[in-house]
Amino acid sequence: MPNDKWNDEEIENLLRDFPKIQDRRPKAEVYKKLSHKEQTPKQPKRWLPLLVAIVAFLSISVLVVSLLQQNGTDSSSSSSESSDAESTMSTDEAQTEQTEQAERETQESEGAASLAAEDPQVQRSAVYESEIDGAHVFRIGLAYNGYVVPISFVIPSQDMEEPAALELYEAFAGQIDETGLGFDEYHPYEGELQQNDSTISHFLPDGQTYDQGSSSTLLYLNSLKETFMDQQEIRVLNEDGEAAQLSHVGTVEPLVPGEQGQSFYLLASSTGDWHLAPAYGMSPGNVKEALLSLQQSPNDDYRSPVPEEINYRVEVDGTNADLIFEEPLDLDALDEAEAMQMVESMALTAQSYGSALTLSNTEQTEWAGFDFTRELELPVSPNRIDWPKK
**Per-residue pLDDT of the chain in tens (390 residues, 90 and over written 9):** 444 555 667 766 766 665 565 556 655 555 555 555 444 444 445 555 566 567 666 767 666 556 666 555 454 444 444 444 454 444 455 555 555 655 555 454 444 444 344 444 578 999 999 888 889 999 999 999 999 999 999 998 875 678 999 999 999 999 999 999 999 999 999 999 999 999 999 999 998 999 989 999 999 999 999 999 999 999 999 999 999 999 889 999 999 999 999 999 999 999 999 999 999 999 999 999 999 999 999 999 999 999 999 999 999 999 999 999 999 999 999 999 999 999 999 999 999 999 999 999 999 999 999 999 999 999 999 999 999 876
Can you tell me the distance from the alpha carbon of 288 to that of 298, in angstroms, rounded to the nearest whole number? 16
- Report residue 118 CA to chain centroid gap: 11
pLDDT computed for residue 28 by the predictor? 54
pLDDT computed for residue 51 by the predictor? 62
pLDDT computed for residue 123 by the predictor? 87
- Identify which of 286, 191, 203 has the alpha carbon closest to the alpha carbon of residue 241: 203
Apex CA 381: angle with CA 153 and CA 309, to 5°? 120
Can you tell me the distance from the alpha carbon of 291 to that of 77, in angstroms, rounded to the nearest whole number? 71
User: Counting beta carbons within 10 angstroms of the beta carbon of residue 367, is it exposed (0 to 12), middle (13 to 18) or buried (19 or more)?
Assistant: buried
**Residue 287 carries which DSSP code?**
H
pLDDT computed for residue 329 by the predictor? 97
Q: What is the CA radius of gyration of the chain?
A: 51
Can you tell me the distance from the alpha carbon of 40 to that of 209, in angstroms, rounded to the nearest whole number? 139
pLDDT computed for residue 157 by the predictor? 82
